[in-house]
Chains A and B, each alone.
Chain A
């Protein structure tokens, strides 16, 4: 079995190979580590690798398989976004501020993957403190889009996205505050799910905007995402916003037929601002759903346009407070030279944070400051309710909502980095679900030809009602039974891939 074939397998197939002992976890892990060695220097998907720790977990997984008590993900190498604290691992959140931080404890998500016997392959690159849509704000450098190395993978989970697309892991975790799983999934051509807020514990996941942050799976297919969700989701008493619900089997509904499914298409998602080529791919995908027996209903989410202004008040406000703990006192970057306490604070934070993080801290501080709170923060929270109510109305008419996950395909590195407002518009279709707390996913739906002749993936976004993840995965899985977009992988040996 050739390696290139092996890396394309589904999680279920990896599990079958491992449990039938056709391959060991150590062998599988080494295969991925080798691939990482080969491709990561150019793609830069990983910030931290620790072969010793990784292989120790693989060995333990092999022992568990030998003992006959393997779980579905036992022995499978998973990449973890560097936003999750993992005990003994460098955990940086893409920031110079935490470049030397070794997490002394495990995030709940890490604990769950460890308990499932999964192998932690490494910590993936990301926009600094998850603030960005291109992975260009990382202190550890940008990440290449495996489909076209001159382009960005999207963000903020850009490292996980590139790792999944380039087959540098079996699957990965991401987090999504305004689209950070779905937009990179769209730009890199794989399946990513942001669950309902509160389904996955945030404990140990470094906070960006606490009321919006939610972790989720990034994998090749809906079927893989379901297996990842079976591990990641669940109540955690250490997170006050974690939802105490009965454990769910996200794979259980995958095979249900879609006949009668009502798909809502919000007209605001197809208006000005959407690339025509992306629009066409989405239309084709909708046509495919019609063939599967779905009914298409035009709906309206009238406050979609306000989601960006609201988000850029609420997220920076929460972030400005969440990032106050990075003061150079107990851990993290402390300036090499300072005169007094005030100087130590101001220099440590000026040096430790990158430009975009500082911008958002300043915006957040401004909108919360005396005299502006009502006009900005309170107003944004009121409009947040209007946006959430739009969805309540919409779900009276349909079962799922579909549209593009991002307004364009992957853009060129450097293209938007100096224009924050243009960058923020990348999340126009994804942000409103975070504000409402709803689940959303991006599913590969085809490719679009760029002006300079590159073939770039396009993602179809599926938005579900609260706790409808299993249904959404079913809707995506049925589509993936009749299409093969999700099985396509970039050819890393293309001439440009070696640059």
Chain B
């Protein structure tokens, strides 16, 4: 499964990472190398083998439905990023986090 420039651009878009045209080629070469390493897997017959997601065969523990969290909005919003685009304000207002307009 050879990677193409288009694949890189598509994946970068899915991952929301801007990639310049100059970087695309270098990325393609490196990712092709890594995929080459990964391709070794294809030689293995895995018919009937149950995929392993966790190292221990355990089941999910359930939490009691009791409120344990208190309001820490002010503390948490100290980490809010700057708004950007020449604004030195934090990207918060009236307790909300601010982002460019979401279009539905």
A interface with B by C-beta (< 8 Å): 100-102, 104, 197-198, 211, 237, 240-241, 243-244, 305-306, 308-310, 312-313, 320, 324, 327-347, 349-350, 353, 358-359, 361-363, 365-367, 369, 372, 375-376, 378-386, 388, 420-421, 424, 435-438, 466
A344 to B84, CA, bound (A): 9
Instruction: Given A104-B78, A365-B11, A366-B7, verify A385-B51 contact (CB < 8 Å).
Output: yes
A73 to B41, CA, bound (A): 46
**Residue in chain B with minimal CB distance to A310:** B41
**B53→A211 contact, CB < 8 A:** yes
Residue from B1, B37, B52, B82 having most chain A Cβ neighbours under 10 A = B52
Instruction: Given A334-B81, A359-B27, A421-B34, verify A320-B72 contact (CB < 8 Å).
Output: no
Asked if B14 is an interface residue, CB under 8 A from chain A, the answer is: yes
**B34→A332 contact, CB < 8 A:** no
**B49→A362 contact, CB < 8 A:** no
Chain B 1-22, CB within 8 Å of chain A: the 1/0 string?
1010001100111111111000
**B38→A359 contact, CB < 8 A:** no
**A382→B38 contact, CB < 8 A:** no
**Residue in chain A with minimal CB distance to B48:** A382
**A331→B14 contact, CB < 8 A:** no
**A358→B51 contact, CB < 8 A:** no
**A376→B15 contact, CB < 8 A:** no
Residues on the B chain within 8 Å of A241, using CB = 54, 56, 58
Residues on the B chain within 8 Å of A466, using CB = 56
**A350→B61 contact, CB < 8 A:** no
B interface with A by C-beta (< 8 Å): 1, 3, 7-8, 11-19, 27, 30-31, 33-42, 44, 46, 49-56, 58, 60-61, 63, 72, 75-76, 78-85, 91, 97, 99-103
Residues on the B chain within 8 Å of A437, using CB = 54-56
**B37→A362 contact, CB < 8 A:** no
Other A-B pairs beyond A240-B60, A332-B81, A381-B53, 6, CB < 8 Å:
A211-B53, A363-B35, A382-B50, A383-B44, A421-B36, A438-B55
Picked from A338, A363, A369, the residue with its CB within 8 Å of the CB of B85 is A338
Residues on the A chain within 8 Å of B63, using CB = 237
**B84→A334 contact, CB < 8 A:** yes
Picked from A102, A240, A361, the residue with its CB within 8 Å of the CB of B61 is A240
A343 to B16, CA, bound (A): 9
**Residue in chain A with minimal CB distance to B3:** A366
**Residue in chain B with minimal CB distance to A104:** B75
